[in-house]
Chain A
């Protein structure tokens, strides 16, 4: 009798196991998308390589699912405006919305996007192979607000040091600089203003580039930061922050005076035309540089360490589902996001020039061999960056305007560093206090451990 019970128990367990593994095996995109066949979803994209790669691969998704995908691409500067107007007017124009790493708090607090859990808890929609822990924790943390994940990362960047190997070798250097102090010494040796050749140039245009590239880059590695959210205090005039911006002034003296108006394309051109030996730029520029006339001479490494810590630039995007569209469209939108950011799609996307935050693809030796930027990018995301490189505030755009105005004036050498940073801090503090911005601040750093523990599992 007892034997029979045991046999029954084993058989039951096996049956249950088969049922669950069966349902797991049974999930496929085509069947999951069956109820949404014929639905059209509108996706926001940027005029950047990752989105070109995604658009090139989209017909595969359409063929598999019968869901039609309409892409609308914007220049970065217009994207937040277009999406905000879409939400405020409740036009339902965009279903799959793009969020920069500094926008999720705006979208979430206004109730414009749906938490990912809403979809991942639905076995009919959630691909068992989604494998969230394959995304780098820093990226999942960046799109987590109030302990809920709102987007899946796509088009993810790390700041990297791109350099001309030949120019460095000709100057007697056998590798890229490891610290900012070393970079300064390289810079002094490589710069020859009479010949119009510069050791290092820094994109500094008066817009988001000034804030994210030219200013933040010289805060964090020196131990500085924008805000102490717990104390509700602006920190851009702390002694560490001042030391970083004073170091930037030293570097700027060796750059062309027009650098303060140069954006990403101009510094990349200077590197391509051998007018600059080193730039610190986003990982997404690797493809452009590789395809340029100096492609074989391009070297890529992690950004130099600062005196206090290694902290490289951090930026990128995630796809989210609009909360203002019918459920049918939301589900179809989720299926698209899940497909685009899947492990399976990571390799073809990288081959077409996209940058993705999938650990399995980014650390694959065969993919790394063709894409040398992946190794330093992974190292950056794992060891040397901060998710709130720029603070996650609902009022971030105006915050960034103030930083950009002051940062640009200081870089022009028109103002003394210390007192100007103090004035900048006053202006930011006044704005933060008067706009109730402190109440809408997100601290993604606190979620990293949550995702790290998941990764470790």
Chain B
């Protein structure tokens, strides 16, 4: 019985082993510099008591985290952010889906092109400018919104002066600002549904809902999950638009988490506490992202 010759082990030269690292190193360094370093730096300062202008930093351990977690101002601002997320996310998802189907439709090319142009506008405008425009449009005295509803006989609404109405205004502007992004993500996701499968299903049934539920939706889950993850992060870190509209007011009705953190950092100059609050919000974003992935993400090949 002949013995199978043992193939001598191939020893990769060090140059070949290093080559992949060499190619990815520029992006890796860039990623570490602009992505990871600020997070580590923020985490580091979150363990210090440091108010800018009030002496040097001193080690505080988890003291800033305890202070943040027991602060009613920060707690309420996080709750407001979660309410904003709970209201805007489903609406943006449904509207985004409707627009994605309209974009996918081959029936009306003109409508599709018009939609594509309209979708780019909110994405192209700086959030602070969106906020300033909204502040003018929703002004009780001079705003175009009150002028337009006045044309159909509705009395002027105090959009920015009431707690609920100011919150509702932020919700409306947020939906206008972010629905196009969701629509584009879902549109890309919709394009992954293979045409042959769609045609085959058309032979089975011409009813829309069973086709959507059984064939299109499974292909769209990764896109929907991505939209959920992105939108959650964007909503949690919303600042420019909200600040420009009402600066957190009236009272504290639009004081969302990022406004509260900015206030702690650059009005109170309490860098330690603001860093701890930022890390807590980052953890919240990651936890929510993991929940979305666990609940909704399925690989279409499964």
A residues adjacent to B (C-beta < 8 A): 80-81, 84-85, 87-88, 106, 109-110, 112, 196, 205-207, 210, 256-262, 266, 269-270, 273, 275, 394-395, 397-398, 400-401, 404-405, 408-409, 411-412, 414
Contacts and interface: CB of A to CB of B under 8 A. Distances in A.
Contacts of A409: 250-252
B157 to A, nearest CB: 9
Contact of B141 (A106, A196, A401): A196
Q: Chain A contact residues: over half helix, strand or loop, or mixed?
A: helix
A412 B163 contact: yes
Given A257-B162, A269-B142, A397 B269 contact: yes
B140 A206 contact: no
B180 interface: no
B166 interface: yes
A394 B161 contact: no
A205 B160 CA distance: 10
A109 to B, nearest CB: 7
Contacts of A207: 247, 249
A260 B54 CA distance: 33
B87 interface: no
Interface string B142-175: 1000000000000000111111001000000000
A412 B162 contact: yes
A88 B54 CA distance: 10
B251 A405 contact: yes
B247 A206 contact: yes
B246 interface: yes
B263 interface: yes
Contacts of A397: 267-269
- Max count, chain A CB within 10 A of own CB: residue among B141, B142, B158, B252: B141
B131 to A, nearest CB: 13
A401 B249 CA distance: 11
B158 A257 contact: yes
A404 B63 CA distance: 27
Contacts of B159: 258
B160 A261 contact: yes
Contacts of B96: none
Contacts of B54: 110, 394
By DSSP majority rule, is chain B's interface helix, strand, loop, or mixed? Answer: loop
A384 to B, nearest CB: 30
29 contacts: A84-B52, A88-B52, A110-B54, A205-B247, A205-B249, A206-B250, A207-B247, A207-B249, A256-B158, A257-B140, A257-B162, A258-B160, A258-B161, A259-B161, A260-B250, A266-B139, A269-B141, A398-B267, A400-B267, A405-B251, A408-B250, A408-B251, A408-B252, A409-B250, A412-B161, A412-B250, A412-B251, A414-B163, A414-B251
Contacts of B160: 258, 261
B266 A81 contact: yes
Contacts of A84: 52-53, 266, 269
A415 to B, nearest CB: 9
A259 B141 CA distance: 10
A258 B53 contact: no
Interface string B253-286: 0010000000100111110000000000000000
Contacts of B247: 205-207
Contacts of B266: 80-81, 84
Contacts of B263: 401
Nearest to A270: B141
B142 A261 contact: no
A84 B141 CA distance: 37
Contacts of A398: 267-268, 270
Contacts of B248: 206
A310 B247 CA distance: 31
A266 B141 contact: yes
Interface string B23-65: 0000000000000000000000000000011100000000000
Nearest to A437: B54
Given A257-B140, A266-B139, A401-B263, 5 more contacts: A110-B53, A206-B247, A256-B161, A261-B166, A275-B141
Contacts of B250: 206, 260-261, 408-409, 411-412
Contacts of A87: 53
B268 A258 contact: no
Nearest to B250: A260
Contact of B53 (A109, A260, A400, A414): A109
A258 to B, nearest CB: 3
Nearest to B264: A398
Contacts of A260: 161, 249-250
B252 A258 contact: no
A275 B156 CA distance: 15
Contacts of B140: 256-258
Given A106-B53, A109-B53, A414-B163, A258 B141 contact: yes
Contacts of A408: 249-252
A257 B161 contact: yes
A79 to B, nearest CB: 11
Contacts of B141: 196, 256, 258, 266, 269-270, 275
A405 to B, nearest CB: 5
Give the 4 A-B CB pairs with smallest separation, nearest first. A206-B249, A258-B140, A258-B161, A409-B251
A261 B251 CA distance: 9
A273 B141 CA distance: 10
A148 B193 CA distance: 75
A98 B232 CA distance: 39
B239 to A, nearest CB: 13
A457 B5 CA distance: 111
A16 B173 CA distance: 75
A302 B41 CA distance: 52
Contacts of B166: 261
B279 to A, nearest CB: 20
Contacts of A404: 249
Nearest to B270: A398
A220 to B, nearest CB: 23
